Structure 1
Amino acid sequence: MKRFTSAALMALALAAPTFTPATAQDEDSAFVTFQVLKPEVALTAAVAAMESCRDAGYQVGVMVVDRFGLPQAYVRDRYAGLHVFETARRKAWTAVSFRTDTMSLGETTAPDGMMGAIRDLSEPLALGGGLVIEAAGSIVAGIGVSGAPGPDLDAVCAEAGIDAILDEIAF
């Protein structure tokens, strides 16, 4: 019987999620597998969203976060406001955290509604412009746009960012 050092076992454990995609048969496994965007793909989405807004006459900031809400790519157009970094980050984080677009979350968390207390939390931003990026039925990232004249327009630009990478993430 071959014995492994703790370092070898740790290396195997860290590499295990990359061997095969998750399937229903993996329920007996001690590991989970997941997909995240490569940084280059995240950057492509961010730039495409920014350029979509620029073409419409808006100066914005765009953040793409991974499925855990950690930043992967950020771009800011030359005249975008100072607030767009935080706002775009929080929109993208909120989308992946709540697994929904932030425009819908804004409606669900109306101040007088049953879910209104979500607005009292420090991180979520229930303001349109944050979308989840999905591939093969799983959330792989989130994108947040801030700086257009309205959150609905931020969402249009975010959708353009996703559209720019659809061919790369379709599997």
Structure 2
Amino acid sequence: MQRTALALAAALAAAPAGAAEGLVQYSMLRPETALRMAQAALESCRKAGFQVAVAVVDRMGVTQVLLRDRLAGPHTPETARRKAWTAVSFRTDTATLAEVTQAGKVQSAARDIPGALMLAGGLPVEAGGSIVGGIGVSGAPGGELDARCARDGIAAVEDEINF
């Protein structure tokens, strides 16, 4: 009986109390999935006749993939990255942010946040009700066209990331 009590006490001491409560678990895009998403967005824009850059960031806003088509402007890689970062950071698409942060609106000061870019073409990537990353496209003649290519990129990997 005494041995059993000692074994139980040792087992309880070895497992820190509340360890699970002190940790957060989350899902992130695999680099291969992020690459397929970026390639699909790039291909979508190519089919429409646009030369663009595409960036995919993880849920923390760190760049996982950055692709630039041959004739996309030199500003497009950084613009795509900032759109993706903004979508993840604010947890919403950048077209909506462009509207709600206009001068005179309550949230207009958000435009002053370093790195934020309130131009259409950035979308959060969701899976299982959580944001797992973001995608930004830059270079099409208009933010809505950038966003359409980004949506096509997400659609290309939806089966892989939905659970």
TM-score above 0.5, yes or no: yes
1:147 aligned to which of 128, 139, 150? 139
Question: Does residue 43 of structure 1 match 2:35?
Answer: yes
In 2, the alpha carbon distance for the partners of 1:170 and 1:117 equals 34
Percent pairwise identity: 57
Alignment of 1:150-169 (within 5 A): 150-169=142-161
Counterpart of 2:150 in 1: which secondary structure? Answer: helix
In 2, the alpha carbon distance for the partners of 1:157 and 1:84 equals 14
Q: TM-score, normalised by structure 1?
A: 0.84
Q: Paired residues, what number?
A: 150
Counterpart of 2:88 in 1: which secondary structure? Answer: helix
Residues 111 and 119 of structure 1 are in contact (CA less than 8 Å); yes or no, is this contact kept in structure 2?
no
- 1:87: which partner in 2? 79
In 1, the alpha carbon distance for the partners of 2:93 and 2:116 equals 12
Question: Does residue 63 of structure 1 match 2:45?
Answer: no
Greater gyration radius:
2
- 2:4: which partner in 1? none
Instruction: Give 5+ residue unaligned stretches, structure 1.
Output: 5-25
Residues 35 and 140 of structure 1 are in contact (CA less than 8 Å); yes or no, is this contact kept in structure 2?
yes
- 1:104: which partner in 2? 96
Instruction: Give 5+ residue unaligned stretches, structure 2.
Output: 1-9
Once superposed, what is the RMSD of the aligned Cα atoms? 1.7
Counterpart of 2:65 in 1: which secondary structure? Answer: strand
Query: Structure 1 residue runs of 4+, over 4 Å off?
Result: none
Q: TM-score, normalised by structure 2?
A: 0.88
